[in-house]
């Protein structure tokens, strides 16, 4: 299964160490420095979502038993049947000088996403375009043009996006709008954002993406107060993935044992009820409204490759 997470509020999946003046950074990959939510963190959040929904009887078969029982007594351990992969960044919003913000992705992020679709057995999706390390491409003509019109300010970077929209990225934008936000005929809570995602998805090169993923996260200075409203600790600085960030993780459900009284179909329906078009909590700072994400769970039969919108438009134009 493929799990999409769409940030309703800023998300803080905390790392173990501080980074310079940043006391509470988000989790990042060691090699790419892309933000990530590690699989163990995400699995704990999904388990808690199931407990909050009152589905206690299904938690142990799917997620496994807790390490400790009540009163820290030892309990018999059993592995859950669900394997949760890392939630990797698909696209992150960055501030721009037109249309307020755009979603930015990269060749690497789309290649990773294409591999997740391949695990589902989905065919018909394009390979990402090759992008110059310092350049970028756009999904719509809003962001392209000759001369200075093709130079766009993305966060702290000035990026050349070319003279014309990129056909492959336009195809990916249409697929993401359908799979992440819901198709045009869907009643998914995010479907109204589909047109913006189709227009405002940009892909940037390998030199630009790490800068945007570092400089365009949110940094918040906080203090901890004691009685009398005086500062007890702080100020300390927390980092958040901004609202509208899109992440994706692969989930694998192994067949349920025949003696457990719960079938694999039961477990799949349990996960669909828990995670499809549902608002769940991921990461820290829950009491101040952080970490709310919309979840969308897709199986192979749920994914319908969107026709190449450029080819469709060309066909319509030729008919006219």
Number of CB atoms found within 10 A of residue 316's CB: 9
For 101, half-sphere exposure in the C-beta direction (CA atoms, 13 angstrom radius) is 15
At a CB cut-off of 8 Å and minimum separation 6, what does 146 contact? 163
Q: By mean pLDDT, which of 61-65, 70-74, 203-207 is the weakest?
A: 70-74
Asked if pLDDT for residue 80 goes beyond 90, the answer is no
Domain span at residue 203 reads 2-319
Asked if pLDDT for residue 72 goes beyond 60, the answer is no
pLDDT at res. 69: 54
| Distance in angstroms (rounded) separating the CA atoms of residues 138 and 200 | 8
Exposure string of 33-59, with b = 16+ CB inside 10 Å and e = fewer, is ebbbbbbebbbebbbbbbeeeeeeebb
Q: How many structural domains comprise the chain?
A: 1
Pairing of strands 201-204, 101-106: parallel
At a CB cut-off of 8 Å and minimum separation 6, what does 86 contact? 36, 37, 38, 39, 42, 249
* Contact yes or no for 295/280 (Cβ under 8 A): yes
What are the C-alpha distances in Å from 185 to residues 178, 189, 192, 196? 10, 12, 11, 16
What are the C-alpha distances in Å from 101 to residues 40, 166, 196, 242, 262? 31, 19, 10, 12, 46
The DSSP secondary-structure symbol of 209 reads H
pLDDT at res. 150: 80
Q: Mean of the pLDDT values across residues 280-306?
A: 91
Pairing of strands 292-298, 101-106: unpaired
pLDDT band at 45 (very low <50, low <70, confident <90, very high): very high
SS3 157: strand
pTM, two decimal places: 0.89
Average pLDDT score over the chain? 87
pLDDT at res. 316: 34
pLDDT at res. 67: 66
| Distance in angstroms (rounded) separating the CA atoms of residues 192 and 212 | 26
pLDDT band at 74 (very low <50, low <70, confident <90, very high): low
Report the share of the chain in percent with pLDDT over 70. Answer: 89
What are the C-alpha distances in Å from 38 to residues 13, 51, 167, 297? 8, 20, 32, 18
Q: Mean of the pLDDT values across residues 265-291?
A: 91
Task: Supply the Cα-derived Rg of the chain in whole angstroms.
Answer: 21
Q: By mean pLDDT, which of 27-31, 51-55, 198-202 is the weakest?
A: 51-55
Asked if pLDDT for residue 163 goes beyond 70, the answer is yes
pLDDT at res. 18: 62
* Contact yes or no for 63/50 (Cβ under 8 A): yes
Please name which of 193, 165, 199, 200 lies closest in space to residue 179, comparing C-alpha atoms.
193
Q: Mean of the pLDDT values across residues 258-268?
A: 81
Report the share of the chain in percent with pLDDT over 90. Answer: 59
């Amino acid at each position: 299964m493929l799990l999409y997470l769409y940030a309703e509020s800023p998300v803080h999946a905390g790392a173990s160490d501080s980074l310079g003046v940043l006391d509470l950074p988000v989790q990042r990959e060691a090699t790419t420095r892309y933000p990530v939510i590690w699989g163990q963190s995400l699995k704990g959040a999904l388990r808690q979502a199931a407990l909050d929904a009152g589905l206690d009887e299904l938690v142990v078969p799917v997620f496994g038993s807790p390490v400790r029982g009540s009163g820290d007594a030892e309990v018999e351990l059993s592995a859950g049947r669900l394997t949760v992969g890392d939630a990797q960044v698909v696209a992150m919003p960055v501030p721009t000088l037109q249309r307020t913000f755009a979603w930015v992705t990269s060749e690497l992020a789309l290649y990773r996403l294409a591999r997740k679709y391949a695990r589902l057995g989905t065919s018909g999706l394009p390979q990402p375009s090759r992008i110059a390390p310092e350049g970028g491409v756009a999904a719509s003509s809003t962001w392209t043009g000759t001369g200075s019109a093709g130079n766009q300010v993305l966060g702290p970077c000035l990026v050349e996006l070319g003279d014309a929209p990129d056909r492959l990225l336009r195809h990916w934008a249409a697929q993401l709008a359908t799979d992440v936000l819901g198709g045009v005929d869907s009643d998914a809570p995010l479907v109204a954002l589909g047109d913006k995602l189709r227009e405002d998805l940009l892909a940037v090169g390998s030199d630009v993406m790490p800068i945007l993923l570092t400089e365009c996260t949110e940094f918040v200075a906080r203090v901890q107060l004691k009685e009398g409203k005086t500062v007890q600790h702080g100020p300390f600085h927390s980092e958040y993935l901004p609202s509208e960030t899109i992440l994706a993780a692969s989930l694998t459900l192994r067949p349920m044992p025949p003696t457990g009284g719960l079938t694999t179909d039961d477990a799949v329906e349990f996960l669909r009820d828990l995670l499809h078009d549902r608002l769940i909590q991921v990461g820290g700072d829950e009491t101040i409204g952080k970490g709310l994400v919309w979840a969308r769970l897709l199986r192979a039969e749920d994914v319908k490759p969107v026709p190449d919108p450029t080819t469709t438009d060309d066909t319509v134009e030729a008919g006219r």
